Structure 1
Amino acid sequence: MDKRLPTLLLLSVFVVATCGLIYELIAGTLASYLLGDSVTQFSTIIGVYLFSMGIGSWLSKYFDKNILSWFIQIEILVGLVGGTSSTLLFLLFESIASFRILLYGLVSLTGILVGLEIPLLMRILENRYEFKDLVSRVFTFDYIGALLASLIFPLLLIPYLGIVKTSYLFGILNVLVALIVCANFRKEIRGAKYLQTASIVSIAGLLAGFIYAETITSFSESLSYNDTIIYSKSTPYQRIILTKRGKTLRLFLNGNLQFSSDDEYRYHEALVHPGLSALPEAKQVLVMGGGDGLAVREILKYPQVKSITLVDLDKGMTSLFQNNSMLIKLNQKALLSPKVKVINADAFSWVRSQKDKFDFIVVDFPDPSNYSVGKLYTNSFYKLIKEMLQPDGIIVVQSTSPYVAPNSFWSVNKTLESVGLHTVPYHNYVPSFGEWGYIMAMNKAYYKKPETFVPGLKFISKGSLDQMFYFPKDMSRRETEVNKLNNQVLVKYFEEEWSDVL
């Protein structure tokens, strides 16, 4: 055996491990983007992927001859399947009924091929090292490669390349391993010329996919949205899509509509003014979530407010609404106001470290569709923000639809009450979303409805406010559980109630 082969193949283990975990992370992330519920998607993807790797490892015993040649062929196949899978999933998401079959089929095929690689490499190297040295070296490179993948995927690959480019890049790396091994050890490989040509053609195809990844992504996303996509970006936290039809702008996060410029004022006026209009002396305001600046726009209509602190996890979101001319016009330069301080941080962690007190707190997080967001609706979180509230202050929480998801809505209400806050639930109609709910919470037991409001509002008035506090029978209060960190019952309610609608 050529002395270079062991070293080269051990380096191949490193590349193989890195690529294999990247494909797994891509599948989980893409499933979360397209299907929602990141915990379920990642859990099932990881389970299927690892099970498939086990099948691949078991199948490796049937490869008795020309193992180096088989290894090269499998590397080419892994590169092609793993490199193109994200494109196939994006393109076919809207056009096939059994999307999950395709998703798990591709995950299984990739896992089987990856599961074949390490056993074949170990058999190629078994005559070069003692068994204990072979195992320690192979698995050392394997685990280091996995660590590298887990670090660069969220920090570098998704923010700067996106899912599709990342898939093609690591597909190229897989096939490049095959080409390098084939080129260096032609004499020991049956059909080396054919394999070398196949590797070059595969790399060329994957490179073309990498170069045209933005075009592919834009085309596949255009199949999922009725309006023209004018902005798209993957951040470490979410996929941001902005669409436009005529004068109407719509923002989507991970495929879920966040607002339409046609009627967002109904949502944001209802979120802010019932509470803030009842606090004529309010000076310090905190907004958690709301990285679009639209709630801040409403708050800035109160001249007595001296400072607004906005805490939003995603810098990509707040930067977009600070720099895009159309969005700056929509939020009326709210995030550029000298009164506004933007902090990009995890709200739970940030609240734990704060000693400041606020007169008015707006909690404008996305719906609790997964556990990472659901923690921001728990009694643990509400205890923390209660400590930040001035004695006469008000908290307002967006609380999903009391019509479509009444258990979810009243669970939020009960969770706020469980930490000693007095609540005032209310709702209004937003055409893009239907009937929507909000809950005011305060230390005092009495809420005085404001008689007047700041000028220039399109929706809120004394008459409309009276209607917002009335709940008909189909939205009336019901008994639910308190949402806690250790049960996340709200996420379960939300999934059950919205599953037939989304």
Structure 2
Amino acid sequence: MPYALLFSIFVVAACGLAYELVAAALSSYLVGDSVTQFSTVIGVYLFAMGLGSWLSKHLQRDLVASFIRIELAVGLLGGFSAALLFYAFAWLSGPFLLLLYLLVGIIGVLVGLEIPLVMRLLEPRLAFKELVSQVLSVDYIGALAVSLLFPLWLAPKLGMVRTALLFGLLNVAVALWTLWLFRAELPARRSLWAQGGVVLVLVLAGFVGAERLSGFAENALYEDRIVLAESTPYQRIVLTRWKNDVRLFLNGNLQFSSRDEYRYHEALVHPGLSSLPWAKRVLVLGGGDGLAVREILKYPQVESITLVELDPAMPNLFKTHPALRALNGDAFSSPKVHVINTDAFRWLESQQDAYDFIVVDFPDPTNYAVGKLYTNTFYRFVERALSARGRMVVQSTSPMYARHSFWTVVQTVESVGLTTQPYHALVPSFGEWGYILASREPYTPGGKLPPGLRFVTPATLPTLFNFPPDMARVPAEVNRLNNQLLVRTFEQEWKQVLR
């Protein structure tokens, strides 16, 4: 029996950490700022566990029955925690964070009650030093197992909703296993079996129907019909469709609408590349949808395009899905295109090749993982990869809605010794959007544009570089790797817009 209870500790420790990771990851997906979300969720959770451990001293009778009921409660509440958070974000956007911390706090208190109760059940059966060493070692091993499985397999393969429900089932299994072990000592075992059966059916039904649960929640988050949704180790990818409008969302943030993405991508590529008629080697950092590559392929002198994209699911999706292949002009089938799936920061740090034109097309700096790709350290790597007369272009958020953030990126690019030429374009899905051209020599708008463009023309190109007073330059600091002030600035500015 002692070994059975020690195994139960392994399971409950794994389950407790899993709920903590699910809540932190889900809140960072939905709210952004992963460092803040993980820090606050972990802090609240640990505090609640400490409170639960302190409260355990008040449980004096029916320890086995109390432990079983706590396991069932953790299994039910923790199992459905991800689904509850999804629905809360969809329908209760204001109180979402309050509900998040309340849910994390309740689960933390219940988890904090578990280990002290098991230790008291084991106390008559093990010497004190054996009790403490074995319980704590098993507890830590369980936490290690989940911390490794969560990012490598659970989150990308099962998703947040099903992962939480899987661990809910494990908590229920521990409750029923404990009930079986102590069946002779429990006068109210029939009631406990009934409670366990009800919770098991509920959590098992949730696990089987997890796709429907998450689908209902995501349908409430997005205005249009979801045609594809998948989780990868790096992000949540959702495609929606309404009539002929296909939209891509990464972690809930709109990346493009097929109705006007041509404006964004023509403005991203052509002002810079049209001024380099001799450019042969092009590097695209990010841009896993292939839409920037589509525009680059309109220049016949370009001989090779290297695309560095962290998440292999993105280029794989955009070279296999019929509607998306049509959107990017089957760009990934071109023999000129070579895709490298790795972290752009690390890849640039180690590679030695030089490129005539570099497109930096990352998502907005909503968290520190992306924010590092907007630092002076990263731009120093990009500058090193530029050929002597080469140019780079950086998508740089909105100079209208995130004005200070935009000019922070400009200041950061200039800090590595490059001359910048900021510009902007109206993309209806996003509003006024900003870009930065940078090189070692001044830039003058001009050059021969490829035929068939729908937005950028010789007449409109010079107007992109004119900033009205409400978007004009403001003082800004350099965004450095050790502080990443841009992430905080960006979050504050967009909160003002969305109020």
Q: TM-score range by the shorter chain?
A: over 0.9
- Compute the displacement of 1:127 (Å): 1.8
Q: For the Cα contact (< 8 Å) 1:66–1:190, is it kept in 2?
A: no
Q: Secondary structure at the match of 1:309?
A: strand
Give distance in 1, aligned partners of 2:347 and 2:196. 50
Give distance in 2, aligned partners of 1:76 and 1:163. 20
Q: For the Cα contact (< 8 Å) 2:424–2:464, is it kept in 1?
A: yes
- The match for 2:246 among 207, 224, 249 is 249
- The match for 1:228 among 221, 225, 229 is 225
**1:101 maps onto 2:105 in alignment:** no
Q: For the Cα contact (< 8 Å) 2:294–2:329, is it kept in 1?
A: yes
- Compute the displacement of 1:200 (Å): 2.2
**1:38 maps onto 2:34 in alignment:** yes
**1:191 maps onto 2:188 in alignment:** yes
Give distance in 1, aligned partners of 2:72 and 2:186. 15
- Compute the displacement of 1:128 (Å): 1.6
Q: TM-score, normalising length from structure 1?
A: 0.98
Cα pair distance change 1:227/1:248, threshold 3 Å? same
**1:141 maps onto 2:138 in alignment:** yes
- Compute the displacement of 1:92 (Å): 2.7
- The match for 2:68 among 65, 72, 93 is 72
Instruction: Tell me what 1:273 maps to.
Output: 270
Q: Map 1:447-462 to 2 at 5 A.
A: 447-462=443-458
Instruction: Tell me what 1:486 maps to.
Output: 482
Give distance in 2, aligned partners of 1:422 and 1:91. 47
- The match for 1:91 among 66, 69, 87 is 87
Instruction: Tell me what 2:129 maps to.
Output: 132
Q: CA RMSD in A?
A: 1.0
Q: Secondary structure at the match of 1:65?
A: coil
1:395-419 per-residue CA deviation (whole Å, 9 max, x = no partner) reads 0000000111111111111111111
Q: For the Cα contact (< 8 Å) 2:446–2:461, is it kept in 1?
A: no
**1:237 maps onto 2:234 in alignment:** yes
1:245-302 per-residue CA deviation (whole Å, 9 max, x = no partner) reads 0000011111111000000000000000000001111111100011111001000111
- Compute the displacement of 1:452 (Å): 2.5
1:110-137 per-residue CA deviation (whole Å, 9 max, x = no partner) reads 0000000001111111122221211110
Give distance in 2, aligned partners of 1:451 and 1:238. 38
Q: Secondary structure at the match of 1:237?
A: coil
Instruction: Tell me what 1:7 maps to.
Output: 3
- Compute the displacement of 1:24 (Å): 0.3
1:119-175 per-residue CA deviation (whole Å, 9 max, x = no partner) reads 111111112222121111011111111011111111111111111111111100000
**1:341 maps onto 2:338 in alignment:** yes
Q: TM-score, normalising length from structure 2?
A: 0.98
Return the letter of the residue paired with 1:250. Answer: R
1:68-120 per-residue CA deviation (whole Å, 9 max, x = no partner) reads 11111111110000001111221232222312221111111100000000011
**1:354 maps onto 2:351 in alignment:** yes
Q: Once the two structures are aligned, what percentage of the paired residues are identical?
A: 59
Instruction: Tell me what 2:460 maps to.
Output: 464
Runs of 4+ residues deviating >6 angstroms: none
Q: For the Cα contact (< 8 Å) 1:227–1:245, is it kept in 2?
A: yes
Unaligned runs of 5+ in 1: none
Q: Secondary structure at the match of 2:424?
A: strand
Q: For the Cα contact (< 8 Å) 1:452–1:461, is it kept in 2?
A: no
Q: For the Cα contact (< 8 Å) 1:402–1:436, is it kept in 2?
A: yes
Return the letter of the residue paired with 1:174. Answer: N
Q: For the Cα contact (< 8 Å) 2:33–2:487, is it kept in 1?
A: no
Instruction: Tell me what 1:315 maps to.
Output: 312
Length, aligned pairs only = 497
Give distance in 2, aligned partners of 1:51 and 1:448. 58
**1:383 maps onto 2:373 in alignment:** no
Q: For the Cα contact (< 8 Å) 2:356–2:386, is it kept in 1?
A: yes
Q: Secondary structure at the match of 2:80?
A: helix
Return the letter of the residue paired with 1:232. Answer: A
Give distance in 2, aligned partners of 1:142 and 1:501. 45
- Compute the displacement of 1:30 (Å): 1.2
Q: Secondary structure at the match of 1:161?
A: helix
Instruction: Tell me what 1:326 maps to.
Output: 323
Q: Secondary structure at the match of 2:366?
A: coil
Q: For the Cα contact (< 8 Å) 1:360–1:394, is it kept in 2?
A: yes
Q: For the Cα contact (< 8 Å) 2:262–2:454, is it kept in 1?
A: yes
- The match for 2:439 among 439, 442, 445 is 442
Instruction: Tell me what 1:81 maps to.
Output: 77
